[in-house]
């Protein structure tokens, strides 16, 4: 058998959100398909039995799916795919919101809320048969798993490796750098809500009274 033939089956990439003992859980999956469309849309999710998310779905019978877009930050995939929820609070590392108590990514191509109606244990995975109880459109086009393998996997590994080494979420490091400015005269560090660049030209250092021009980026 040419097992590589199986690589020609198309998938998307998705972040599943659920809850275990009241705490947010989640992981990346590719095996998520629509099975029927009427009278209500139904889907099938195949989830690795050993994953915490699998236990979460079994506990609550519910989960969300955020459809990753082509413009997804590679770190998001690494965050949900390369570490276990037993060791890390994955949702704390990404911009997200709660939809009916379950987490979804702020940025995704679409969102679903699913309720498990039946399930079957396979060799390594559980197939969850579900009804879609809600759906929302997001922004952009969905990422295809084959495109991720071909052109995003290296960036994802790199972003996740940098995160493990520094403990800093990639996007947040950049944001912090942008908003921190120091007064060259007195050493006061500006860290206000308004970006430093947007402060009026008449703004002065609250400690020594020197103008904006005497500040430099940290």
Positions touching Fe ion (CB under 5 A) are: 183, 185-186, 188, 205, 207-208, 210
User: Which CB atom, from 63 or from 181, has the smaller least distance to Fe ion?
Assistant: 181
Q: How far is the CB of 202 from Fe ion (least distance, A)?
A: 15
User: Which CB atom, from 121 or from 216, has the smaller least distance to Fe ion?
Assistant: 216
Identify the bridge partners of residue 121 per DSSP, sorted by sequence position.
126
User: Which CB atom, from 100 or from 187, has the smaller least distance to Fe ion?
Assistant: 187
Question: Is-contact 6 90, C-beta < 8 A?
Answer: no
User: Which CB atom, from 115 or from 210, has the smaller least distance to Fe ion?
Assistant: 210
**Which residues does 154 contact at the CB level (< 8 Å), separation at least 6?**
none
> Encoding tokens for residue 86?
């037993």
Strands 23-29 and 14-20, by their bridges, are antiparallel
Number of Cβ atoms within 10 Å of the Cβ of 120: 11
Q: How far is the CB of 183 from Fe ion (least distance, A)?
A: 3
Q: How far is the CB of 217 from Fe ion (least distance, A)?
A: 15
How distant, in Å, are the alpha carbons of 16, 61, 135 from that of 132? 13, 12, 7
Q: How far is the CB of 197 from Fe ion (least distance, A)?
A: 18
């Amino acid at each position: 058998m040419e097992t590589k033939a199986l690589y020609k089956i198309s998938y998307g990439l998705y972040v599943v959100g659920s809850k275990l003992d009241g705490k947010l859980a989640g992981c990346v999956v590719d095996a998520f398909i629509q099975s029927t469309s009427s009278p209500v849309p139904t889907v099938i999710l195949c989830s690795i039995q050993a994953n915490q998310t699998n236990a979460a779905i079994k506990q609550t019978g519910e989960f969300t799916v955020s459809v990753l877009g082509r413009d997804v930050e590679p770190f998001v995939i690494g965050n949900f795919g390369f570490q276990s929820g037993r060791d890390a609070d994955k949702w704390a590392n990404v911009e997200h919101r709660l939809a009916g108590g379950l987490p979804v990514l702020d940025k995704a191509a679409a969102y679903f809320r699913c309720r498990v109606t039946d399930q079957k244990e396979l060799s390594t995975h559980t197939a969850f048969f579900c009804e879609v109880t809600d759906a929302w459109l997001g922004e952009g086009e969905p990422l295809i798993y084959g495109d991720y393998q071909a052109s995003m996997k290296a960036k994802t590994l790199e972003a996740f490796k940098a995160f493990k080494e520094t403990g800093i979420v990639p996007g947040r490091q950049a944001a912090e750098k942008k908003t921190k400015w120091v007064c060259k005269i007195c050493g006061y560090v500006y860290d206000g809500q308004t970006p430093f660049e947007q402060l009026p030209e008449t703004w002065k250092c609250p400690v020594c009274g020197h103008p904006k021009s005497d500040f430099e980026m940290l």
